């Protein structure tokens, strides 16, 4: 499981996993429970690039949102994975 500390949102952290390029087991710490559970269910098992493309740039308060922060977490994961493979 991976942990991402969010910035500019009510949620404080996102815990998630990526298996075979699919997003798995997303959990938000803090924030609007119902909405965040919905987001987690909607992205479960979807391709990481599809999730990033769908959620990146969604705005709420502070020029970001919990979905946008999930996209940022996945982008950070991909960059780290690419660097580790070099």
**Which domains can be identified in the chain, with CATH numbers?**
2-85 (3.90.1010)
* Mean pLDDT of all residues in 12-40: 97
Q: What is the pLDDT of residue 61?
A: 79
Contact by Cβ (8 Å): 4, 69: yes
pLDDT at 62 over 90: no
Q: What is the pLDDT of residue 63?
A: 92
The angle at the Cα of 60, spanning 35 to 9, to the nearest 5 degrees, equals 70
- How is the beta sheet containing 22-30 ordered, strand by strand? 2-5, 11-19, 22-30
Q: pLDDT confidence of 38, banded at 50, 70, 90?
A: very high
Contact by Cβ (8 Å): 21, 77: no
For the chain, give the percent of residues with pLDDT over 70: 100
Quote the CA–CA distance of 78 and 59 in Å, as a whole number: 22
């Amino acid at each position: 499981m991976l942990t991402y500390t969010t910035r500019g949102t009510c949620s404080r952290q996102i815990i998630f996993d990526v298996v075979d390029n699919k997003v798995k087991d997303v959990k938000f710490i803090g924030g609007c429970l119902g909405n965040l559970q919905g987001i987690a269910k909607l992205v479960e098992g979807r391709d990481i690039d599809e999730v990033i493309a769908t959620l990146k740039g969604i705005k709420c308060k502070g020029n970001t949102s919990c979905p946008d922060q999930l996209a940022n977490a996945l982008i950070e994961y991909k960059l780290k994975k690419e660097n580790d493979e070099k």
